Chain A
Amino acid sequence: MFSAAAESFLRQAREIHEEELRRFAGRVSALLQGPEPGAEAAEGLRRLHLTVAATKYPRRLDGRFVELLQTVLCSPKSPEQVQVLCAAILREMSPCNDLILRCDEIQDTKLLSLVSSVLLAQGNKKGEVAAVGQRVVKVLEGRLPEGQSALLLLPVLANVINLSPESLTEEQTDAVSRKLADWLRYASTQQGIVQPSGGFFSSPRTKQPAPVTEVDGAIATDFFTVLSVGQHYTQDQWLNVQAFSMLRNWLLFYGGQEGKAPNPDDKPGMDRSVTSMVSTTSTSSRLLPPKEHLREKAFEYCQRLIEQSTRRPLKKDDGDLQRACLIEAVTIMDIICKQDSSYVYRAVSFLKILHGRICGDATYARALLPIAQFFLNHSKLAAVDSDAIYKHLFTDIPAQLFHNPSLAFEFVQFCKDNSQLFTDTSSIFRHSFPNLFKFLAWNSPPLISEFVDLLPFLLDAGTAIEIFHLLLDLPCLTAALDIQLRAAALPTSEKATSDPAVKPATCLEAFRHPLYKSTFQHFLRTKSAPEDTPESLIPLRQLLGSLAGNPRVVQCAETVPVLLELFFRVMAESADGSLINQLVVLLLQRSDQLYEIPTFKDDVYRVLSSQLAMLCKLHPALVVELSTEILEFSGAVSNIQSKEPIFTHVVWAVGEYLSVSYDKRCTVEQITRFFETLEAVLFEITQLRPLASTPSCAPRAISVLMATLTKLAARSQDLIPRVSMFLSKMRTFVQSPAVTSVYCEEDLEEILIRATELMNLLKMPSVAQFVFNPPMDVASTRLQREVNDSLPLALRMVTHLLEPAPGCTPV
């Protein structure tokens, strides 16, 4: 495929020098100007194309050569292949300054299409798009030359209106609208005639053209559409296909009525559309203005397509097209109803029936989205209850079809497009978020950025806790979904519930095991269930550990830190003190209960610890309010090893915020209690003769413990002697042989320096008190705000004061 040989070829093309290129262009130029530019000229043009395309910076081609390319392109004598290659080179070079191409005089539709492709690539600086649009419309309106058809021009027109819809006047769009309506509605229903194969002995049989059929083989009894089948097709049938293919955008740009909003005095829907049902037969609609005429034909076409799209196709691949047609038809109906609400009544009953027919068929699931969108847009007007549709969409579809990546993507887009639905606390949409996360759990890489957009809409005080748990367990959800799929694929014989007495050996067995069933069901729930958490998810989480290496699980795990940060960012803006407290407690609890993927745990700890600091800053009183939980957490030495980042930040928070200035309820007893707990922890990890069971801890933990103890002592000065004595022992600690073998020299030096600085600070208790407990308004200076950074600076300042360099006097 793209082999090393091709790679080197590409490099050669890039490295061709200007001079060589000029000479080669000259050779090709000669060939092009020769009597009959043939295969050799084509080959030369191909190589030129590659040379031009291979580099990001533009290649200089001689102005006359570029002019020659344009001349050859437009010359009727040039072979088609050469014309195509000239156009390709011109497009590749665009924008070209030396372009003399114009489309004004071109009559031939093939040439016009080719030249338009070059002009439209220029970028519209000189109004090229409008010029092309004008020319195409002019040709379409006039009499086409013999043997030519509008077929090649419709795509050009579609491109023009997408790029610059204002290129056409209302008169022009009206004229085209009329033609589109005719092509849509009145294409021939006979199959095209096969050209007789000829030959001397064959007798020309004038075969009667057969009628077109439906995709299931039945003879078509109504007008021709893209789902009509024939052996050969006529020109007008091709035009039918083209017209439908561009219909949606055409209606979007030109179907609306400027300044003609539906009359608010009319009763919505029913009355007006009853009249329109009566009056708009296919003959009388011709008398309608072009917009309305096209709208009517388009609506009929969509109705017919919808009817055709649930037939069983003879060719399997036609099924895919049927579904694409269905989606397009519903979308166009939606647009029509937005532009003219008198169609709503007709559409609503039709689409309800359609929904009933396809809602049980998984292959039609993607079509349920535009149907739901239609009802979201119009059901109020039609006074129709469509809750059942939304319920089915949000409850059943994600649970059954999370593994379909296209559906997953479109479903999430649907949610984003209708995000206001999630903000209503009572709605079905909001309660279905556990289902939505299944899409992300299974298809993480393409959907993570979509969920970053969607998550803020799902989060509020009522859902925050459940979503927090859900995010932390997202990789478990992936594993559970994997098992659910595999369990469903098993033959029925193996699906019996397993023996409760026997412990399951594999996750697959656990799926049907009574002990684990309810936990599985909790992970796989389709609706929000905040009160419903089973006894403990730990056993299942551990069992699922066997899937921790599964690539999907790993990909999912990588999305969690991003979503967690976003989660906390939203919480920071909206959560009140009570919710923050709940989150902190859960954070500490859950730090023990995470899915066992090493990098996953590290990343989650990193995010949780920094967010913990943020939450404490937002609501400093939580240190006092949650003193029980925090005491318990910070008193457990095992936490230093298993969750060092979180431990460190918890201890830091205690040092920062356990103070009367942050919460009047903070008592001396509390300070003393924390002090004693932390002192015990520090004591255990800094033993001179560590036991085998003593953990070796990150130096940062030791530092932060020392600093916190010092801060607490500064606030309750009876504790100062105890801290000072402890700190003075640190010198012995860092020099002890058992310790030097465990920690590296730089770390030990840092610890010693820190201990010394803290000791010095405590020798000036009033300074210490100021540094660690500044009055609240002083605390808003930049220095104090960067709390993690300011302490060392403050310490160094004080150390300088206490141990002045020779020649300096303390202030």
Chain B
Amino acid sequence: MVWAFVLLSPGGQAGQAGQAPCRVLYARAFGTSPGTPLGGPRQRLRRKEQLLVVARQVASQCQLLQSSLGRLSSPQLPQLPDEPVSLQDAPGGLFQMPPGDPFPDRVTVVWLSVLALACALVCDPQENLSLAEITLRRLAPRLLISLRLLSPGAGVLLRPDAADALLDRLLPHGQMLFLNERFLQAVDRELGIKASR
């Protein structure tokens, strides 16, 4: 199953003075993994911390991949917010997190960099990782639009309902869907999105 979806800001590169820390901008957990202490603020704290650990690891892998590809860590933004944003070549990857660190069981994290942000799915190791990558590649451009990530301001922080609406269609209750392009178009019509590929 998919345990969580995370949208994060990787922050500055390690070693640079005054860089922004890694932040979780939006996260959705789809249930509590067995073995988590239940009840009260500790459960919530545990969840927040687990997601932050995932975010940090994604940020680190993202920076390492960018440097191995010889790219700048913060890609140039398109000049006009209306310009269709191509995420076809966006770097992404897969890695595992061992049991106990931070989730009770082993998990696989699938991540994708989205301009200067990144998004990730935390899955069981046996999940269909190809489908997870497809799901992320579909969520990313639609999040860009719905959350108005290209315009300045704090839009990403103030539109949890827009993010929820997207996830409800493309990852309802953490269920990844085998949607072909036509089904995807139908979803876009319902959401009123004109998403570029």
Contact = CB atoms under 8 A, between A and B. Distances in A.
A682 interface: no
Given A5-B153, A406-B129, A445-B65, A10 B178 contact: no
Interface stretch (A224-232, A258-266, A782-790): A224-232
A159 B175 contact: yes
A500 B156 CA distance: 61
Contacts of A324: 128, 130-131, 134, 178
B154 A6 contact: yes
Contacts of A163: 1, 31-32
A124 B181 CA distance: 37
Contacts of A327: 128, 130-131
A518 B25 CA distance: 52
Nearest to A162: B1
B41 A245 contact: no
B177 A242 contact: yes
A763 B93 CA distance: 67
Given A10-B157, A85-B161, A229 B31 contact: no
A383 B197 CA distance: 46
Contact of A162 (B31, B153, B159): B31
A152 B168 CA distance: 9
A84 B154 contact: no
A155 B44 contact: no
Point out which of A6, A124, A215, A366 has the most chain B C-beta atoms below 10 A from its C-beta.
A6
A387 interface: no
Interface string B49-68: 10000000000110011011
A1 B160 CA distance: 16
A554 B152 CA distance: 36
Point out which of B29, B157, B165, B177 has the most chain A C-beta atoms below 10 A from its C-beta.
B157
A421 interface: no
A123 B181 contact: no
Given A159-B31, A328-B128, A1 B177 contact: no
Interface in A24-66: 42, 46-47, 49-50, 53, 56-58
Contact of A121 (B9, B31, B65, B164): B31
A227 B183 CA distance: 10
A226 to B, nearest CB: 4
B177 A245 contact: yes
Nearest to A12: B154
Contacts of B191: none
Interface residues of B, number: 71
A117 interface: yes
A56 B45 contact: yes
A721 interface: no
Interface residues on A, range: 35 or more
Given A5-B152, A85-B160, A93-B44, A241 B173 contact: no
Nearest to A215: B180
Interface in B104-146: 115-117, 125, 128-131, 133-134
Contacts of A200: none
A27 B161 CA distance: 20
A450 interface: yes
Contact of B156 (A2, A85, A248): A2
A249 interface: yes
A94 B134 contact: no
A88 interface: yes
Nearest to B97: A449
Given A120-B30, A320-B130, A551 B158 contact: no
B173 A227 contact: no
A283 to B, nearest CB: 28
Contacts of A242: 175, 177
B177 to A, nearest CB: 5
A164 to B, nearest CB: 9
Contacts, number: 208
A88 B164 CA distance: 8
Given A155-B172, A328-B128, A229 B43 contact: no
B114 to A, nearest CB: 9
B49 A446 contact: no
A450 B98 CA distance: 10
Given A113-B173, A241-B177, A551-B67, A232 B186 contact: yes
Contact of B94 (A2, A320, A406): A406
B178 A405 contact: no
A88 B160 contact: yes
Nearest to A406: B94
Contacts of B44: 58, 93-95
A84 B115 CA distance: 28
Given A57-B41, A94-B44, A445-B65, A1 B149 contact: yes
A439 interface: no
A450 B94 CA distance: 11
Nearest to B157: A50
B64 A5 contact: no
Contacts of B15: none
A336 B67 CA distance: 44
A244 B178 contact: yes
B38 A446 contact: no
A9 B161 contact: no
Contact of A49 (B39, B96, B160, B186): B160
Contact of B64 (A49, A249, A445): A445
Contact of B178 (A5, A57, A328, A551): A328
A321 B178 contact: yes
B38 A124 contact: yes
A1 B77 contact: yes
Interface string B20-32: 1001010011111
A446 B180 contact: no
12 contacts: A2-B9, A129-B31, A158-B173, A233-B186, A238-B183, A317-B181, A320-B130, A331-B128, A405-B94, A409-B93, A445-B61, A551-B67
Interface of B: 1, 9, 20, 23, 25, 28-32, 36, 38-41, 43-45, 48-49, 60-61, 64-65, 67-68, 70, 77, 93-96, 98, 115-117, 125, 128-131, 133-134, 149-150, 152-154, 156-161, 164-165, 168, 172-183, 186, 197
> Top 8 nearest A-B pairs by Cβ distance?
A162-B1, A2-B9, A155-B172, A155-B173, A324-B130, A155-B175, A446-B95, A226-B178
Given A2-B9, A328-B128, 14 more contacts: A56-B45, A84-B161, A88-B160, A95-B40, A95-B44, A155-B174, A156-B173, A162-B1, A238-B183, A245-B177, A405-B93, A406-B93, A409-B94, A555-B67
